[in-house]
Chain A
Amino acid sequence: MSDLENLKTSLLAEIAAAADEPAIEAVRVAALGKKGSVSELLKTLGSMTPEERQSRGAAINALKTEVTEALAARKTVLREAAINARLAAETLDVTLPVCSSPAERGRIHPISQIVDEITAIFADMGFSIAEGPDIETDYYNFTALNFPEGHPAREMHDTFFFQPDENGERKVLRTHTSPVQVRTMETQKPPIRIVIPGKTYRQDSDATHSPMFHQVEGLVIDKKSHVGNIRWVLEEFCKAFFEVDNVTMRFRPSFFPFTEPSFEVDIQCDRSSGPIVKFGEGTDWMEILGCGMVHPNVLRAGGLDPDEYQGFAWGMGLDRIAMLKYGMPDLRDFFNADVRWMSHYGFRPLDMPTLFGGLSA
């Protein structure tokens, strides 16, 4: 029996010594291949007596089994080792920086973001968004809004004019978004609830004035809305927009040609910490908007009977409330297209203002 034992010992030693998969395959062929040492022994089984087969045959089969198992076990070990070696060789420096995603680099301008914020808030109160042209007629920009010819209030607007046409009429760059009020009344039956964001232009330039700026205004026309409703709408808006639990507002009687009565509205705030304005606290007042009941002459210009219909309008500077909320110090930077400013003050494209997800992150 010692020949089998010797073979086994030598095969197991070869198996253990096989350093890689080709080596183990060579051992397998040498032992279990067609002419392999174990295969040759198995071939002898046919010529054996039943007694021999019972003793020596069993031993040969046991040898085959043992060698087969040893081969499989060694193969597994070698394959693991090979994989480990390959993986080790494939190692990369994962600390090398990768490119940020385009959506992470891109930015939405604060004006667009604020318009979306405002849209989210007013959509919830049943308003839609109306727009109008930047180049307006004198009629829509002034006359229809009850600015009498030659009135000082008209002069206060620092209007940009175009050259007069053949009829002597000169178009203007709209000085406010209010022309859209009358344009809307002409085409839409009450009840009307609209918010009008857009570009406006005045011949003025310093840190808080720009020849081009943005306004947003609102208009409600129905048969019952009054000053109490303005207060509610504006308080709800300011709470939602500035994302504070409470705001205290002060309505002061004022004058605009297109509203009567008219108000300027101050919001209570804390300005003690320099340029940062905190709303919902403090003892300072800051004027943030103008509003009033739509003037009967404006309703008439819109084709509505002021004894049947009534409503209110308000307006404010979009850039200004953007500056108040997000802290940009200078209005002129809004229009400079400086990539550093846009990257810093802009918003990521996937940060979409909603009421269900919050206006700002």
Chain B
Amino acid sequence: MKFTLSWLKDHLETDATLDEICERLTAIGLEVEDVDDKAAYKPFVIAKVLSAEKHPSADRLKVLMVDAGGDKPVQVVCGAPNARAGLVGALARPGTYVPGLDVTLAVGNIRGVESHGMMCSEKELNMSEAHDGIIDLPEDAPVGTPFATYAGLDDPMIEINLTPNRPDCTSIFGIARDLAASGLGTLKQPKAPDFAVSGETPVEVKIDLDDENLCPGFALRLVRGVKNGPSPAWMQTRLKAIGLRPINALVDITNYMTFDQGRPMHVFDAAKVAGNLTVRRANEGEEILALDTRTYTLSPANVVIADDNGVESIGGIMGGEHSGCDENTTDVLIESALWDPINIAKSGRSLGIITDARYRFERGVDPSYMMPGLERTTQLVLDLCGGTAAKAKVAGYKGYDARVVDFPFSEVKRLTGLNVSVEESQKILTALGFEIVSGDEARATVAVPSWRPDVDGKADLVEEVMRIHGVDQIRPEPLEHQGAVNSRILTTLQIRTRTAKRALASRGMLEAVTWSFIPEDQAKLFGGGKPQLKLANPIAADMSDMRPSLLPGLLTAAQRNADKGFGDVAIFEVSGTYEGDTPEAQRRVAGGIRRGTASLAGAGKAWSNAAKGGGKPVDVYDAKADALAVIEACGLPMGNVQVEQGGPAWYHPGRSGTIKMGPKVVLGHFGEFHPNTLSALDVSGALCGFEVYLDAMPEPKKKATRTKPALELSPFQMVKRDFAFVVDRTVDAGTLIKAATTADRKLVSGVSVFDVFEGPSLGENKKSIAIEVLIQPVDKTLTDEDFDALTKKIVANVEKSTGGILRA
């Protein structure tokens, strides 16, 4: 919402400075977004051209001697075709910033002639687009005085960022009312219209709507015999100052009313209206050529004003070109109507029309001002265009029933902590137009003014009192402390989310945050693409589906990095994936990928990697280690976690695994990727990845005590024994380890694999798995016989579960 200082002062008697006014506006909730004090125009002075000689070495330039009110004339080189002796215009001296050119002038030398300034065009002063010549003022314009004052360009412009709850301040009068209530001046009451009425408005108005709220009032008046030329300079200057283009007096008056009173009006050229006017829903497919010269196709969702020719205007949004007023208009029909805010908002949105009228009607136009607005507009028409006003026709108007709010004054203290006296609260509310209908020292029944549709409860009144009393009066007050020391505040899932991130970052991975929405084909590739997870209005075609997995985002991100020359990438994300559109279907997943040689030990060709066996392409085991690291960090008992061969379809079927806890709970997957997945994603290189479902992890059991179980240390020496078994190629190492471990649960304290070997010497489809078994005697030192017995047990158990034979 834009306005100028002088326009505001039409309604507000005040001595306050521009700064004071702006500061107060912001303080009472009308945030000043922009102020232009027009200081930039100050250096321009009115100057008279004394002589204009042809430039000695340029045909199209002239050398002017200009009287700018100083002792000596100023020499200026000028190329304008209208530059001539006797012309009075606007001069800018060196050092002046010229807004239309975005340059600061210096003394120039143009083809050997010094130029000490510039005679400006309207465009150079940002007054208009006119650039055919320099400004040409009447001869009596006072030479040597500021041009801006003369041209009305020095009126400061203020723009406020209006919140959608304040339709009353879509009018300059309303802004003045708020400022006056805050004590920054006195509100000037508008002069009552005073004109004679003669004859009837010969057009009938019929409201033909199934829902009377769509148009709760429609007033129309004919003014005959008007002369519609340009509006007066003062009105044009004001409209231009707030960015509106003057059209003609009748149209300018409606625009003026829109901003001055927040009352959008419409004018029809009566000669172009055929028959009577009907307010109705548009027919499906009905068209209107609107004032913006675009044709809109309407539907019954839009409310229109129609005559015998068809639709003449989209109610409350934009008039039609056909019945618009131009310089030939002699009889004008002035419309002042009320419209349903919700319907206006919907219509405006669906038609894609943004107008100052829609802006106001969708916020709520003062219903009580429908008739006064018509009167005031009529007065302006009569004053500026002459003519005779007929008696107005009014349809459907029921007046305004004031809402009342029961308001205990103590609410101000309860909600804001402010001590505001009852007297002051009453005074503030009254100044804003609220009426104290009845009440006592403790509470009052307050009637809400017609221009404040946003106020309907106690809290709203508290806000009114508070903002006018002064928000800066509210002092910070500590929140009550709830206890001595806080207990744990994070949930298990929150803790695990946090831990998973730090655990993965500790493994040299970088945390990424990628989009929650991905392309449809990628979603389908990872088990997603459900219709309920498809956005109806994606911001881009490739951001259409809620992701079923973190992996596509991470894999494509890795490729983007590789394309920039960073091929060894280890990245992860801990965030949501979506299996459905319910809260329960949103998973919490830790996922990560490694590309190239980005293993835990370190990436790339560094000599230290090669020396330690690193620097090789990442594989399924890198991903497995990452996945298990997350599960370990989250505190799950690893003894209950098992790994099975194989994973979802997007993984390499022979190089992927599923991590489970018990038979049912799937904790995650890991592996290298299926070549089809990679080519569909258009990514390449050595890649492995994993996803761990943090939300699938069971809550830890509540412990009765924080005490750890007693530590029992055996006094007998731990012994290590190596075994090598020849097994079928398909046998899992996991099965073999389990068989060795369970051979004697008391003595075997650990089993690790130290070699896996395949070769012709073993036979076809055979492999050798070599294990080291840790044997911890508990009650005595073991004899050779004891060891023999244990060895037999281990060999027998391995043979039983894997068919493996102890390698000779």
Contact = CB atoms under 8 A, between A and B. Distances in A.
Interface in B482-531: 482-483, 486, 489-491, 494, 498, 501-517, 531
B729 interface: no
Nearest to B464: A261
A334 B546 contact: no
Contacts of B26: 252
Given A205-B539, A340-B566, A162 B502 contact: no
Interface in B443-476: 454, 457-460, 462-463, 466-467, 471-472, 474-476
A165 B607 CA distance: 59
Contact of A108 (B29, B363, B501): B501
A108 B511 contact: yes
A155 B349 contact: yes
Nearest to A352: B502
B638 interface: no
Interface stretch (B1-9, B412-420, B719-727): B412-420
Nearest to B578: A135
A268 interface: no
Given A149-B342, A337-B560, A253 B513 contact: no
Given A112-B501, A132-B583, A228-B417, A163 B536 contact: yes
B289 interface: no
Nearest to B614: A99
Contacts of B575: 199
Given A102-B600, A108-B511, A109-B511, A161 B463 contact: no
Interface stretch (A35-43, A230-238, A274-282): A230-238
B785 interface: no
B498 A255 contact: no
A226 B480 CA distance: 12
Interface string A250-276: 111111000011111000000000000
A170 interface: yes
A201 interface: yes
Interface stretch (B161-169, B328-336, B659-667): B161-169
B501 A310 contact: no
Interface residues of B, number: 104
A74 to B, nearest CB: 40
A112 to B, nearest CB: 5
A155 B413 CA distance: 34
Interface string B595-615: 000001110001111001010
A227 interface: yes
Contact of A342 (B414, B512, B515): B512
B207 interface: no
A233 B574 CA distance: 30
Contacts of A306: 459
B479 A260 contact: no
Contacts of A134: 516, 546, 576, 578, 586
B95 interface: no
Contacts, number: 269
Contacts of B560: 336-338
A308 B483 CA distance: 23
A96 B608 contact: yes
Given A149-B342, A152-B164, A99 B601 contact: yes
B510 A170 contact: no
B12 interface: no
A87 interface: no
A225 interface: yes
Interface residues of A, number: 94
Contacts of A125: 479
A162 B506 contact: no
Nearest to B504: A106
A231 B463 contact: no
B477 interface: yes
A150 interface: yes
B561 A163 contact: no
A135 B546 contact: yes
Contacts of A160: 535-539
B52 to A, nearest CB: 47
A229 B554 CA distance: 43
A199 B516 contact: yes
B119 interface: no
Contacts of A342: 510-512, 571
Contacts of B458: 296
Contacts of B477: 226, 228-229, 231-232
Contacts of B415: 226-227, 261, 293, 310
A65 to B, nearest CB: 44
A232 B533 contact: no
B459 A260 contact: yes
Contacts of A204: 539
A134 B587 CA distance: 11
Contacts of A162: 532-536, 581
B543 interface: yes
Given A100-B602, A126-B483, A254 B31 contact: yes
Contact of A339 (B514, B534, B553, B566): B566
Contact of B554 (A201, A337, A349): A337
A106 B459 contact: no
Contacts of B612: 99
A135 B345 contact: no
Interface in A150-198: 150-153, 155-156, 160-163, 165, 170-171, 173, 191, 193
A335 to B, nearest CB: 6
A304 interface: no
Contact of B459 (A98, A232, A261): A261
B557 interface: yes
B639 interface: no
A301 to B, nearest CB: 14
A134 to B, nearest CB: 6
Nearest to B497: A112
B289 to A, nearest CB: 26
A203 B341 contact: no
A293 B504 CA distance: 41
A238 B471 CA distance: 19
B6 to A, nearest CB: 26
Contacts of A126: 479, 481-483, 486
A197 to B, nearest CB: 10
B363 A152 contact: yes
Contacts of B566: 339-340
A302 to B, nearest CB: 15
B345 A231 contact: no
A106 B486 CA distance: 31
A208 B491 CA distance: 32
A118 B543 CA distance: 30
Interface string A212-227: 1000000010001111
A295 to B, nearest CB: 7
Contact of A227 (B417, B514, B533): B417
A273 to B, nearest CB: 23
Given A260-B457, A342-B512, 20 more contacts: A96-B608, A102-B507, A108-B501, A126-B479, A153-B164, A153-B165, A161-B537, A226-B417, A227-B417, A227-B418, A227-B471, A251-B474, A254-B163, A295-B459, A296-B458, A306-B459, A334-B513, A337-B561, A338-B560, A339-B510
21 contacts: A96-B608, A99-B601, A105-B508, A106-B509, A106-B510, A134-B516, A148-B342, A160-B538, A173-B516, A220-B479, A227-B417, A227-B466, A227-B471, A252-B26, A254-B31, A306-B459, A336-B557, A338-B564, A346-B511, A349-B501, A349-B505
Interface of B: 26-29, 31, 163-166, 341-343, 345-346, 349, 362-363, 413-418, 454, 457-460, 462-463, 466-467, 471-472, 474-483, 486, 489-491, 494, 498, 501-517, 531-539, 543, 546, 553-554, 557, 560-561, 564, 566, 569, 571, 574-576, 578, 581-583, 586, 600-602, 606-609, 612, 614
What are the 5 tightest A-B residue pairs by CB atom distance, in nearest-first order?
Answer: A253-B29, A150-B342, A102-B508, A106-B505, A255-B163
